[in-house]
Amino acid sequence: MLHSIPLVHVWRGDFLESQHRGHAVICNLDGEIVEAWGNAEHVILPRSSCKILQALPLVTSGAANAFGLTSRQLALSCASHQGDEIHSGLVRTWLQNLGKSDDDFRCGTQWPRDIAASNDLVKRDKSPCRYHNNCSGKHCGFLTLSRHLGAGPDYHLVDHPVQIAVRDAFEEITGETSPGYGIDGCSAPNWACTMTGLARAMARCSGDGSDTISAAAALLRDAMIAHPELVAGETRACTELMRAAPGIALKTGAEAMFIAIIPGQNLGISVKIEDGGTRASEAVITALLIRFGVLDAAHPAALKRLGPIHNWDGLETGRISVALN
């Protein structure tokens, strides 16, 4: 990745054992870069970090109002959940309300990441369903929008009205014409943008909603903040850090993407780690939340991602540090 810089250092004793290179950008509500590390114009696939942007047409189209979606459903539409019953149960209810079934999903089956839910399937000799997929909340949103638009069943295809609406909203809020897309793990298109474009979009999500798309973004953001347990799940970085930093919206994405929305300061953050290492993206986003005074460095959720490393016997063997000079 052109012009990436070392952002995360992993120490064992006095030895630098590993490091992670990457990019980070912070934008304000006017779309201006406040701070940046690495290449602010590097083009990335945001992956699941941009689910709030993919959910925008669900709100701007009037579909969310028409179907009476709750804040819990809106939060789930932005989630990468772990298939706990709190997630999959809400998805099943949403499907039932739409008159749809698991077969209407186009996201594929996935074993729950939640250990208890996964063990329960094994004990009952059951196979996972599509509603266990970590993206099934987003796909409920897609199904809702597709029905509202009177469109066909293959809502995941790039030329389907749902995905055209997603692309249009994505380009509007990032302020960029996307150079293309990749197919995500859930089979939906994932539109590319620059690091700055993603941070700019998240900054627009931080405002009070002075226009239609910003108002929709604020509604989705507030739903995420109100229901951190739905955005990811227990033990997960998004959920734990949102609880530790009330009022902040966070979302991780595959290949070490991470975004933050800081409404009180009207800031948006995008982070990308070059090697795809999740421990590094979690460390950088944690350090940035501390930097802007919204997370206590001594909070257990912060120390878990940015602090001492312990071995199985509880001995401190090293530390993770982030370089934001």
What is the C-alpha separation between 132 and 145, in angstroms, rounded?
21
Cα dihedral 183, 184, 185, 186 sign: negative
CATH code at 140?
3.40.710
- Our count of domains for the chain comes to 1
State pLDDT tens for residues 228-274: 999 999 999 999 999 999 999 999 999 999 999 999 999 999 999 99
Q: According to the model, what pLDDT value does residue 2 have?
A: 75
Q: According to the model, what pLDDT value does residue 210 have?
A: 85
CA distances from 315 to 12, 13, 47, 243, 321 (A): 12, 11, 36, 28, 18
The residues, any chain, with a CB within 8 Å of residue 168's CB and separated by 6 or more, are 57
State pLDDT tens for residues 205-240: 999 988 999 999 999 999 999 999 999 999 999 999
CA distances from 320 to 8, 11, 29, 280 (A): 7, 6, 31, 9
Give 121-128 contacts, CB < 8 A, sequence gap 24+: 128/83
Low-confidence ranges of the chain (pLDDT < 50): none
pTM for this prediction = 0.97
Domain that holds residue 33: 5-322
